[in-house]
Amino acid sequence: MAAAAKAETPEGEATEAKGGGKKKLLVLAVPVLLLVIGAGLWFGGILPPLLGMGPKPEEAAAEAPTTTNAPPPRPAYVELPEIVSNLNAPGRRPSFVRLRARLEISREADVAAVQAAMPRLIDLFATYLREVRPEELRGSAGTHRLREELMARASLAAHPARVTDVLFLEILIQ
């Protein structure tokens, strides 16, 4: 009998080990499966509105674009006065730049805001131009960098208005 009990004990332990492995797998697999389903619902856009995290339905309807074929808003242009500034040139020979430009604004309603910010715009542009070296303005890459820098400064100065481009009418480097 003792021999039979020993034989059953390893078999009994073996069956318990298999059952314990299935339980562990089940305990680990269920939370992972729930996480995958939750992530799918979250990134699918279903879960945030259910949790009250999305916009209210009436706000979403108000923000939804209308399907009418209305033309896009026309941009407006504001002429900048001529800016003459000395450049940051090494040596004794001074270097100057003369710049005439036009700002493209996304909406015509913002022209008044840009006109009101004109003294600040001119100051920012002139201050930036004083720090530029003549070799930085050479070529199309220099002109492109200048356009990007002036657009960034114009957007800051005329903040409620959105400046979409700076159009150069004249750039003269002497």
Residues 46 and 80 in one domain: no
Task: Indicate yes or no: pTM above 0.75.
Answer: no
Q: Provide the mean pLDDT of the chain.
A: 79
Residues 92 and 163 in one domain: yes
Residues 24 and 59 in one domain: yes
pLDDT above 60 (res 164) = yes
Closest CA to 171 of 100, 85, 88: 100
pLDDT above 60 (res 132) = yes
- What is the SS3 assignment for the chain? CHHHHHHHHHHHHHHHHHHHHHHHHHHHHHHHHHHHHHHHHHHCCCHHHHCCCCCCHHHHHHHCCCCCCCCCCCCEEEECCCEEEECCCCCCCCCEEEEEEEEEECCHHHHHHHHHCHHHHHHHHHHHHHHCCHHHHCHHHHHHHHHHHHHHHHHHHCCCCCEEEEEEEEEEEC
Question: Domain containing 115 — which CATH number?
Answer: 3.30.479.30
Residues 112 and 138 in one domain: yes
> Residue 117 falls within a domain, yes or no?
yes
Find where tokens 């389903």 sit: 37
pLDDT above 60 (res 119) = yes
| Structural domain range at position 82 | 76-173
Residues 14 and 57 in one domain: yes
Q: What are phi and psi of 77, to 5 degrees?
A: -125, 135
Amino acid identity at 128: Y
> Residue 70 falls within a domain, yes or no?
no
- The confidence score (pLDDT) of residue 57 equals 58
Residues 53 and 80 in one domain: no
